[in-house]
Structure 1
């Protein structure tokens, strides 16, 4: 690993849950991206934001991922090892939801130095407010389209 740790805020939004959804990530230096899916869930959009953020950054550069989703943070800091050991079953012996997305992110995390930070949503945190707005905008944009996916802001 090399370089200074980069902060990346992530967020997902869903209009209806399930319904039209959006995801977004942003860095303090202004780099950001967002996109949307016509029919999805909030948790899938929260996960998609993390996946897209990881894929957008060099794996050799350490990241600090800020999220307002405890589901996302707990999935990768607490629950993942038990899910894998239990054949992707929860403590209640039910199949883990969103397994495919979780596995994609877990594979990305294997070769990276990532720290996680929970930030309170809708509390004035500048980067969280930015990704919330981008994700909500992406979800709103796709809600009126028939396409299954649309790309959002990419400065």
Structure 2
């Protein structure tokens, strides 16, 4: 059995209004952070953007922690498999929301040789890394809202 070290990354998205100005952020256990914003967006889009940016920026294997069941369940419950089979429609037959973010994220996660694990963490429950990314994402949302 071989052991591979996996970097842990926490991600979060925030929105002032839904839709409204939003921010996203990620932070690794080795101290790296990155954050960004969008003028008019939704909380779900910011949660997705945070994970997409982390996966784009950081090498696999990656252990991803998010308080978004929307993001985590897509991979833990394989929602993406059904979406693709149904032509990017959800179980109700409606078009999958946020395809412009989901498609590149799913492509990266499913890339041969890539290794990502998705873990849900309860938001606002005292997890230091989750609190950090929440603060960073909210700060980005507030900055863009004031412009």
Task: Pick the TM interval, shorter chain.
Answer: over 0.9
| Counterpart Cα distance in 2 of 1:88 and 1:77 | 18
| Counterpart Cα distance in 1 of 2:92 and 2:118 | 26
Indicate yes or no: 2:115 matched with 1:113: yes
| Counterpart Cα distance in 1 of 2:93 and 2:15 | 28
Indicate yes or no: 2:66 matched with 1:64: no
State how 1:129-140 maps to structure 2 within 5 Å: 129-140=131-142
Match in the other structure for 2:26: 25
| Counterpart Cα distance in 1 of 2:141 and 2:135 | 10
CA displacement at 1:77 relative to structure 2: 2.5
| Counterpart Cα distance in 2 of 1:75 and 1:66 | 13
Match in the other structure for 1:87: 87
Unpaired segments ≥5 residues, structure 1: 146-155
**2:95 counterpart SS class:** coil
CA displacement at 1:100 relative to structure 2: 1.4
Match in the other structure for 1:143: 145
| Counterpart Cα distance in 2 of 1:49 and 1:11 | 6
Match in the other structure for 1:76: 75
Match in the other structure for 1:40: 41
Unpaired segments ≥5 residues, structure 2: none
Residue correspondences, number: 142
Match in the other structure for 2:129: 127
Let me know the Cα RMSD of the aligned residues: 1.1
CA displacement at 1:3 relative to structure 2: 4.7
CA displacement at 1:108 relative to structure 2: 1.0
